Structure 1
């Protein structure tokens, strides 16, 4: 078995079957993107979960889902919205149990606006932490009992340590950190944040998950690896520096780029 980290992928219903053989050739981690929409979570998704399980028979990697995120934040100041989001988290855990998953991706509440207004409203941080605690408290306890981890992904985050601060305030209960390379690169180029490898290093041993996508730093491209300007050697050196064993998920807009991206990183000698 190679000592290089093993790549996995984020796949949807239309692309999963085409990648099953690749997923089975090594213990590749998988993230299912079928269940992010409220319409799916509110409907009968049991047949879809059964289809996934049948298709993945023999798969040895870790499995998880991208949780819902459209239209909300996990730290809304509106109590009615928090109740809706808490229900979405519970629905995500229902799905995770049905597909034998061990992780759920959720999105960071930190924004560019919030970063640039720090200090003007001194109660904002405490208010955000209180809202996040109210939203996630029940789901985190349930996830811990299930052996499932929520991984908190950077979105607009400019300060790489902000999510760790939030998780620390929540007691790291069923929480780990996720780094999306394209989001970090966008924040670096467009909003003055540190480079991608700084996000990885800041996560340290709490790094549980990475979305690997290439980008130009202007937008959230989700390009094939090698088609953007991210310095991949620095990213994988930072991963090794953490000592963590994160799920390495190729999250590409065009799923036809998954295998070429894996081949590109393998040719660089930094992943399998």
Structure 2
């Protein structure tokens, strides 16, 4: 398995390139990461934002750590973005990703991504409104692929999410979006499939199955988020917890599907009240379990 580390575990804790690189490389032994926008907000004024983002990237490169992509985090996920109910909110969602692409370019990183967006409850339950907003969102995203290419990015990612009011949530939704986007996109658009999302049984039932996802849209899956889950909520637990996703299951899936180029990004979100010492100890224990299963 090719293991990488989403930096979500570290938000509000080990800030700055030097502190983060030490934790990533020396304490946890990773050389591939996914940078979360929770560390540097794309909406910050560019004159202040870009030097901070570049400092992370430069220190990571000097430490031998590759930032494979940047990705939206908890703060970004709060908003409806491209599927919001009003044109003004959808325009702000487009601007959000545009700024993130600009920041990613400043870091010298070649890929960026986030969930596509979320309908309001009223729009989600209105098929005509839902389709109209979806088509506008696809057009907006295609414009962003052109912006990404102009800024030197080579790929964009969309993360499916486990809510019926969001898009894409199901594997068939994901396939539709990938087909619609990649028919005209300026750079490839791929899926960042989170195991905990895909195995969300209350929404997907019998289709809460990673094999089903591979059969349906596997050609478009560029990378994965991995987490421990009970299949009932989007837990983002570490593998020191019991649940339905074990390191052995991840390893077996990787080998059976002959995966080579994708990365399993460990994406763990801790309560802010957890002590730094407990978080780091738990991360080390979980990483050891994952590496034993490789």
Compare 82-91 and 136-145 and name the one that shifted more. 136-145
Structure 1 156/228 Cα, relative in aligned 2: closer, same or farther at 3 Å? Answer: same
For residue 125 of structure 1, report the CA deviation from its aligned partner: 5.7
The answer on 1:87 being equivalent to 2:83 is no
Q: 2:156 aligns with which of 150, 160, 178?
A: 150
* Equivalent runs, 1:127-146 vs 2, <5 Å: 127-145=132-150, 146=152
What's the CA shift for 1:247? 2.6
The alignment covers a number of residue pairs equal to: 261
The answer to whether 1:250 aligns with 2:273 is no
**Equivalent residue number for residue 17 of structure 1:** 21
Contact kept? 1:201, 1:238, Cα under 8 Å: no
Partner of 1:63: 68
Given the alignment, which residue of 34, 46, 53 partners 1:49? Answer: 53
Name the CA distance, whole Å, in 2 between partners of 1:128 and 1:100.
33
Residue in structure 2 matched with residue 259 of structure 1 by the alignment: 284
So what's the TM-score if we normalise by structure 2?
Answer: 0.74
Q: Which residue of 2 aligns with 1:167?
A: 178
What's 1:6 paired with?
A: 2
Give the aligned partner of residue 113 of structure 2. 105
Aligned position for 1:194: 207
In 2, Cα distance between the equivalents of 1:25 and 1:136? 36
Contact 1:35 1:65 in 2 (8 A): no
Taking structure 1 as reference, are residues 38 and 139 closer, same or farther at Cα in structure 2, changes over 3 Å only? same
Gaps of 5+ in 2: 15-19, 164-168, 271-278
CA contact under 8 A between 2:119 and 2:130: conserved in structure 1? no
Shift of 1:191: 5.3
Deviates further, 164-173 or 9-18: 9-18
The Cα of 1:42 is off from its aligned counterpart by 7.0
Choose 7-16 or 213-222, whichever is displaced more.
Answer: 7-16
| TM-superposed deviation, 1:176 | 0.1
How far is 1:110 from its partner? 6.5
How far apart, in 1, do the equivalents of 2:233 and 2:53 lie?
A: 32
Deviates more, 1:137-146 or 1:60-69: 60-69
- Measured in 1, the distance between the counterparts of 2:283 and 2:142 equals 35
**Structure 2 residue 42 is the aligned partner of structure 1 residue 34:** no
Gap regions ≥5 residues in structure 1: none
If the length of structure 1 is used for normalisation, what is the TM-score?
0.79
Residues in 2 aligned to 1:136 and 1:33: alpha-carbon distance in whole angstroms: 19
Distance (Å, rounded) in 2 between the aligned partners of 1:86 and 1:79: 10
2:160·2:197 contact (CA, 8 Å) conserved in 1? yes
**Please, what is the CA RMSD of the aligned residues?**
3.3
Quick one: distance in 2 between partners of 1:242 and 1:169? 27
* Helix, strand or coil at the partner of 1:208: strand
